Amino acid sequence: MEELIRKETISEELGVSLATVNNWIKTRVIPSPDFQNCYSKIVFEQIIGAIKNSQKRLNSRANRNLLEKKTLCYSGITNKERKKLLSNLVKDFETSNFSVNEGLLALSLAILRSNKLIDAQCHANGKSKLDVMLSDWLLQTKNQDAVKSLFEKYEIQNFDDDILGAFYQSIQSISQKSFSGTYYTPSKLLTDIKIPLEKTVLDPCCGSGGILLNILSKDHDPSKIFARDIDDAALKICFINLVLFFNDKNIAPNISKHDITLSSLETHNCNQFDYIVTNPPWGSKFTILQKEALIKLYPELSTSEIFSIALYNAHKMLKENGQIYFFLPYSFLNVAAHKNIRQYIFKDNNKVFINLLGNSFKGVLSEGILLHLIKSSSNQDILIKNKNGNIYNLPLQNINPPDYIISATGKRQDALILDKIYSTEHTTLFDAAFALGIVTGNNKKYLLKEKTKISKPIFRGKDIEKYVLSKPIYYLDFKPELFQQTAPEEYYRQEKIVYRFISGKLICALDKDGNLLLNSANLFISNNYPMETIVSFFNSDIYTFIFKKKFHSRKVLKSHLKSLPLPILSNETHQYIKKLYYETFSEKTGEISLYQNKIDKIICSAFLIDDEEYSYIKGNI
């Protein structure tokens, strides 16, 4: 019988989601499975080849992990001559036809030789841990003499700047770094982390050891240093970097291949370390089966996100009163998908500090934070430090179920106003019905610039202004069976609130005309709060302030909207707002200031916001 290959294997082979594969099938980019969701081997190989050869798809932002472009990664190297040296090393490697592993070996030998940690002939025949590693590494290549001579013309001084790690990053493709989620941690972010000499320290996602080089003292006991990773080459670099750091080939730090996502299965890791410092991968790509396995392994987290799992396991490996330093994306603080790890942190006595880092990681769009946690310390208020170095307290009572959102706004006054707003009696959009805009899969094919007898207007996110929809530019013949994603048609056809999905603030309108929406616009229908009031409130400066300071997001998510506070108002007040909406509001955009001022007064009164606080809000959005 001919070998059959599961449809899921396409997503695993190409590093895309199963939803993307299903969309390709639906829009006829690839054929449907041959038999029971499986393909014959011949058809499978044809699909993989066709997608990989399609430069338009490979170069799209959504498929960035398939790119093979390489770029120099200086990894904190600032010296001009040192940068030139790295560039020359990479050029020599690229003309050598050596593998990445052989290139790393060649540079490792050159650096160790230059610093007299091995002899001039690059012999590694001693009994030290370094000699044993180098001997084994040399045995893995058939080109030993050529490898030894690749960089023999260079004398490479040790500046403790991880030039070996920078070389490794530079000769990897963007796809490899994107797939693993690994990017360099700038040394300036590590200056405040100090490890006492007598304490054990672990970096469970050590990479080339750049973090350890910046937080250790040369007086530290190497036997108290632990470094782990799943990348064999990175572990070798980390060990060599530590040898260079201590200038001692006989050191024996504890370096091992280890997967942080499996740490909870190994009981010997419990309560072992005084300090755990790392920058875990953000958004590493897992196969569908791997994701399912991780969710089963960690039901208490209900996520396959590696940084949540890494933090959970690190906490279990920490001694009482031990300390964790984790670099994390800002989304850790407020995205609902991470609510379980936030709840876990706060259910035990942990002292928590959060340092807001902004866009500190090159090549990463997400803003970052440094989470500093002291285990089993007194459960005090969270300390927030903004980019300017200012510190304020965030009361623990502000971290509430169900999502345990941490509103790390950067300013104490922001936190005080948010606390006042959320302390006021309110409801939420808990029972609202939400739906997404349409994903056609081929806008050029399906979006029409001229209206036909059967087509209907369709609105993009940018077509939504405060309170109104712009004049339609596109029309669509609604045939959901042809599209990648649609909500049931009745969601579009009824009265609804439509809003921009990609936006740093709330921009919404009440649609009574049953219009269609493209995927940059979403919708919801409220059942427990008048929609005229919601639109009037959400378009206000006050709700812009709430959204910006609480969620700090460029996307308006359903979880954000469902957690926004809606003050308890009398029926008379709702009717007054509705009257303002229909009588005062002009359909011409830009003529709503008088109307909005009256609405703002109602919001301020409901949330007990005084004139000084209102002025502050308007000046800080």
DSSP structure string for 328-364 = EEGGGGT-GGGHHHHHHHHHS-EEEEEEEEES-STT-
Q: Catalogue the long-range contacts made by 52-56 (C-beta closer than 8 Å, 24 or more residues apart).
A: 52/14
The arithmetic mean of pLDDT across residues 21-29, rounded, is 76
Instruction: For residue 271, count other CB atoms closer than 10 A to its CB.
Output: 11
Q: Are 214 and 287 in contact (CB under 8 A)?
A: no
User: Is it the case that residue 221 has pLDDT exceeding 50?
Assistant: yes
Q: Which residue has the higher pLDDT, 176 or 523?
A: 523
Tell me the pLDDT band of 178, cut-offs 50, 70 and 90: very low
pLDDT, position 417: 94
Q: Are 411 and 392 in contact (CB under 8 A)?
A: yes
Residue 438 to residue 26: CA distance in whole angstroms = 14
Instruction: For residue 17, count other CB atoms closer than 10 A to its CB.
Output: 14
pLDDT, position 450: 93
- The pair of three-digit structure tokens given for residue 205, joined into one six-digit string: 């996602």
Tell me the pLDDT band of 15, cut-offs 50, 70 and 90: low
User: Is it the case that residue 286 has pLDDT exceeding 80?
Assistant: no
pLDDT, position 276: 97
480 prior amide bond cis, ω within 30: no
The arithmetic mean of pLDDT across residues 314-332, rounded, is 93
The arithmetic mean of pLDDT across residues 368-382, rounded, is 85
pLDDT, position 365: 61
| Cα 79-83-85 angle, rounded to 5 deg | 115
- The pair of three-digit structure tokens given for residue 182, joined into one six-digit string: 């690994």
User: Is it the case that residue 232 has pLDDT exceeding 90?
Assistant: yes
pLDDT, position 380: 75
Tell me the pLDDT band of 38, cut-offs 50, 70 and 90: confident
Digit-coded pLDDT (tens) for 150-171: 999 999 999 999 999 999 988 8
Q: Are 165 and 75 in contact (CB under 8 A)?
A: yes
DSSP annotation of 403 reads: T
Residue 297 to residue 338: CA distance in whole angstroms = 16
pLDDT, position 207: 92
Is 383 in a helix, a strand, or coil?
strand
Residue in 383, 357, 364 with CA at minimum distance from that of residue 372: 383
User: Is it the case that residue 569 has pLDDT exceeding 80?
Assistant: yes
Residue 345 to residue 525: CA distance in whole angstroms = 35
pLDDT, position 58: 43
Query: Of the ranges 121-125, 483-487, 545-549, 586-590, which one carries the lowest mean pLDDT score?
Result: 586-590
Q: Which residue has the higher pLDDT, 10 or 357?
A: 357
User: Is it the case that residue 350 has pLDDT exceeding 50?
Assistant: yes
User: Is it the case that residue 342 has pLDDT exceeding 90?
Assistant: yes
Residue 333 to residue 350: CA distance in whole angstroms = 16
Digit-coded pLDDT (tens) for 110-120: 999 999 998 88
Residue type, 170: S
Phi then psi for residue 385, to 5 deg, are -120, 125
pLDDT, position 449: 94
What separation in angstroms does the CA of 450 have from each of 143, 474, 492?
66, 7, 21
Residue 565 to residue 554: CA distance in whole angstroms = 20
pLDDT, position 88: 95
User: Is it the case that residue 64 has pLDDT exceeding 50?
Assistant: no
pLDDT, position 68: 43
The arithmetic mean of pLDDT across residues 600-613, rounded, is 96
Tell me the pLDDT band of 585, cut-offs 50, 70 and 90: low
pLDDT, position 55: 44
Residue 83 to residue 611: CA distance in whole angstroms = 55
Percent of the chain with pLDDT over 90: 58
Tell me the pLDDT band of 362, cut-offs 50, 70 and 90: low
pLDDT, position 552: 87
pLDDT, position 388: 82
Tell me the pLDDT band of 21, cut-offs 50, 70 and 90: confident
Q: Which residue has the higher pLDDT, 387 or 491?
A: 491
Residue 375 to residue 352: CA distance in whole angstroms = 9
- Mean per-residue pLDDT of the chain: 87
Whole-model pTM? 0.80
Highest mean pLDDT among 214-223, 270-279, 338-347: 214-223
User: Is it the case that residue 511 has pLDDT exceeding 80?
Assistant: yes
Tell me the pLDDT band of 591, cut-offs 50, 70 and 90: low
